[in-house]
Structure 1
Amino acid sequence: MPAPTLSKTAPGPAPVREGPVRAGLRRTAALARAELLLLRRNRTLMSIAVLMPLAVVGLLASLGGEAGMTGEAAAVAVSSLVGMLLLFVVYYNVLSAAVARREEGVLQRLRTGEATDGEVLVALSLPSTAITLVQTVLLAAVGALALDLPVPGNPLLVLGGLLLGAAVFSGLALVTAVATRTLEAVQMTSLPVLSIAVLGAGLALPLDVLPPAVADVAEFTPLSPVLTLVRAGWTGGTGGAELLQATVVAAAWVGLSVAVVRSRFRWSPRG
């Protein structure tokens, strides 16, 4: 009697190993999606994000009249909106999220998983950054179609200014979180950064009316270089010592924030 033969099954495809960069991006995206779901429940922030661009569109319509606005006037108005979004959507929300997640013990639990510290903190800022980008694009589109608003002359420079500004104020939010013990204290601890940023960028008072020495110092405050880049991008400005200085100053704020966060950030409520 012939011996039974054993059928051999073909081996399946070898599993594809994920590279470290791709795995890090996947983890960051997953954390950012979870943060976005929580962000949608924040009615105050979502109201600011939706109503502020509409208010700016109405302001532009009232100022522009039938003749439309010049590129310089549009750049000033749009950069003011960008500044407010960076302060109240990016900075204030990232600060609130960091403190809330720490007090809930979420940050401490995330550190025990696969995600690195940098991935966890970057994920906190991505939803707010995305909202700021979307609102700016919508303002540009609605303004161009409905109000004859000049379109950006250098969109890449505007985008670069927005992303650099988001990095600056996300970093400052995490630095502020170091000194913020509870979520209720956010309103107090955020005031110094908000005040310096608003005054230094000329959003509350034109810099032209200030003494020259004070105006020169204002150029080194966190928001001022960002708005310089956005305005230059909207009017089509490129190159120049002013843009280089603005980029270096903004990058210095990012570097300073990273250094402070790496050495002082508290991950647990009792840390």
Structure 2
Amino acid sequence: MSTPTTAPATTLPAAAPARPGVPGPLRRTLSLARVELLLLRRNRTALFTAVALPVGVIALLASVGGDRLSGGRGAATAVNMVTASLLLFVVFYNVLSAAVARREEGVLQRLRTGEATDAEVLVSLALPSALVTVVMTGVLVLAGFAALDLQLPSSPLLVLAGLLLGVVAHSALALVTATWTRTLESAQVTSLPVIAVCAVGGGFAVPLDALPPAVARVAEFTPLAPVVELLRAGWIGEPTFADVAVWTGTLLGWVVVGVLLVRSGFRWSPRS
């Protein structure tokens, strides 16, 4: 797994100059996110993972899928695999690593004494990975449409909703995991159970129909499962309002629980 490049412990992001018409909270958040994006860009391992992983998934599906990728179900499978990879290894793992690294350097503790609020600091940690995920998903969907004749979604709003809610939910999950992750090295261990549970719930580690019914039912409420369902429905399905409400509600529930846990237990001072 990738380890993000960290800034020196004494380095703090420079305050962004005031811009007419830009609210202070948004300006501060974007200023901090710009620094995080610069650090992510300098981390060649993280960038390689963000670019090579989804490309590799598409290449693998193209080599083994053949004509099966040309239909709606094939398109949904391809996009689900790419999106799941990005959410787990770009959003979740990178946000977790960035939060732990900045905390152990003392950067988060010092930022709390400045103008930025807690929410602005934490959102800025997640924005670069979220941006990379959204951009890479869009690029690969267009590339798949052009090169593999993948079908475009019948309900783009469902696909977009699944992607954005998935980004927010997995960012919150990363910050929660950071609360019990002592060091950057231990993030490789603490992230594994979360990734495993999400992979099972999303049906990638083991098909859900191969699981016992009770286990499969529980797996449907794991963070990645509703993302997969929303994406699949956006491509090939005509889901009922109740289905969409359950999937969306599950993701929003994870977001709310994550925010509450972060507010009550997130560690801002170094632990090691």
TM-score by length of 2: 0.88
Structure 1's 63 and 115: CA in aligned 2 closer, same or farther, altered over 3 A?
A: same
Q: Which residue of 1 aligns with 2:266?
A: 265
148-157 vs 169-178, greater mean Cα deviation: 148-157
Aligned counterparts, 1:1-271, within 5 A: 22-65=23-66, 69-235=70-236, 237-270=238-271
Structure 1's 45 and 255: CA in aligned 2 closer, same or farther, altered over 3 A?
A: same
Distance 1:266 1:127 in 2: 21
Distance 1:210 1:28 in 2: 43
Distance 2:232 2:190 in 1: 29
Structure 1's 30 and 60: CA in aligned 2 closer, same or farther, altered over 3 A?
A: same
- 1:161-207 Cα distance to aligned partner (Å, 9 max, x none): 11101111111111111101111110111111111101111111111
Q: Which residue of 1 aligns with 2:10?
A: none
Structure 1's 68 and 75: CA in aligned 2 closer, same or farther, altered over 3 A?
A: closer
SS in 1 for 2:186: helix
**Which consecutive segments of 4 or more residues in structure 1 shift more than 6 A?**
16-19
TM-score by length of 1: 0.89
Tell me the matched-pair count.
255
Structure 1's 66 and 213: CA in aligned 2 closer, same or farther, altered over 3 A?
A: closer
Identity of matched residues, % = 60
Distance 2:228 2:247 in 1: 9
Distance 1:62 1:93 in 2: 29
Q: Is 2:76–2:232's contact at 8 Å kept on the other side of the alignment? A: yes
Structure 1 residue 53: Cα displacement = 2.2
Structure 1 residue 41: Cα displacement = 2.0
SS in 2 for 1:183: coil
Distance 1:68 1:207 in 2: 21
